[in-house]
Amino acid sequence: MSSINSNPGATAALQTLKAINASMSSTQNQIATGKKVSSSKDNAAVWAISKTMEADVEGFKKVSDSLSLGQATVSVARQGAETVADLLTQIKGKVVAAQEENVDREKIQTDIAALRDQITSIVGAAQFNGQALLTNTDQAAESGGINVLGSIDRSMDGVDSTDIRISKQDLGQGASSIGGALTALTTAANNITGGGDGAAQALTGAATAPTLTTTFGASSTEAVAAGTGFSIDISATAAGGPSNTADRNDISYVARDGDTMADVAAGLASAFNKYITEDLGAGNEGTIAATVSGNAVTFTGADVVGDNFSIAAQEYAADATTTIGGGLAELANIDVTTQAGADSALDEVEGLIQTAIDASAAFGSAEMRLETQKDFISNLTDAVKSGIGTLVDADLEEVSAKLQAQQVQQQLAMQALSIANRQPQSLLSLFR
């Protein structure tokens, strides 16, 4: 039965044409945008994932910028430390030259002073955007290094950032000075063998050299607040023992931010040995010395009967009157104008060179780590971008073939609609 009130064929053809046109519109949108998922209505789940990952890619770009800034800062510090090491090597050459008696030591000392001033200038200038890594004399917490943004880490619980800590390496020449109030050592075990906190214990000279030990902190890795002072006091000296200390700063160490109890022990042992050598003279100190094992310092007394003295370990709280010394503080004490000064300077400058070399090596390792992390972030960013493309990018070869098929389908649908629309016209022939 045919009807002029309805045309099912035309309706079906029209619905088919609309579906083809809608499909073509989607295909043309993929061609225009290059994406098969360009909005949440295309595929809500995939679109949400892609947007989350795109946000991470943007974060990775900022991480890369942070690593570049950190790399530049560390590079400046490394070059400064390496230059300081070179200048200290030149100073060593001057010190060696001063060992000869038939030289003008005053002029050599003048050259050393000039090189010393140049080191001060380099340490002050070795900064990037105001961030200096060759000085560490601030008592503020976390002042002993910088944090460089190294990564952003996504998990089911959210996003966290990861920092790379770059420690400062002090190459300043300022002297330390303890100004805080006397306090008890950290724990009951931290005292010279056999005594309480701060109690002096005797190192009585005998045929066999006696020893006393003190341990600082609960462990070698225990952190120390910046500006905390430690000293070794010598008293009750008899016969050929070392002279009594007159001041808390005679044998002392002031902690820098980032120091551990192992650093304190090493610093005090070095200061003790230097005091003994200067007081008794090189080669005349017998067996009097301090040795370090982790955070423990063992003091050895004279192996001569009657060479008696007592020692005590003290701790002082940090305050505004305390001064944290530089890593090259002993450079200011080098004086080769006398034979004794030239002799002691040789060992002293060797230790200072090692300090600068250690600083250079530390910065070199940090710079390499930042460079490695930056390369990783770059590769990670590329991988995430590729993953996003796999999710949302259109296969243009496939889309092109699909569009051609749809164009043919559209033409056929339009012809079918045209034929269906002409069908009612055939009824007129029945009434002729």
For residue 345, what are its two tokens? 């300077």
4 falls within a domain = no
293 falls within a domain = yes
Task: Say which DSSP state 119 is in.
Answer: H
306 falls within a domain = yes
User: What is the number of structural domains in the chain?
Assistant: 1
Lowest-confidence segment of 61-70, 127-136, 236-245, 278-287 by average pLDDT: 278-287
Distance between CA atoms of 20 and 330, rounded to whole angstroms?
87
pTM over 0.85: no
Dump pLDDT digits (tens) for 324-345: 999 999 999 899 998 888 888 8
134 falls within a domain = no
Contact between residue 37 and residue 391 where contact means Cβ atoms under 8 Å apart: yes
Mean pLDDT score of the chain, rounded to an integer?
A: 87
Number of H helices, E strands in the chain: 6, 12
Task: Considering only CA atoms, give the Rg of the chain.
Answer: 39
354 falls within a domain = no
For residue 221, what are the domain limits? 176-324
270 falls within a domain = yes
pLDDT for residue 92 is more than 80 = yes
Mean pLDDT over 244-263 rounds to: 94
The pLDDT of residue 186: 60
Distance between CA atoms of 90 and 86, rounded to whole angstroms?
6
- φ and ψ at residue 222, rounded to 5 degrees: -60, 130
| Ramachandran assignment for 270, one of left (phi > 0), alpha (psi -120 to 50 degrees), beta (any other) | alpha
What CATH number does the domain containing 274 carry? 2.60.40
| Burial tier of 79 (Cβ tally within 10 Å: 0-12, 13-18, 19+) | middle
Dump pLDDT digits (tens) for 347-382: 889 999 999 999 999 999 999 999 999 999 999 999
100 falls within a domain = no
With the CA atoms of 376, 65, 128 and 159 taken in that order, what torsion angle do they form, in degrees rounded to the nearest 10? -80
132 falls within a domain = no
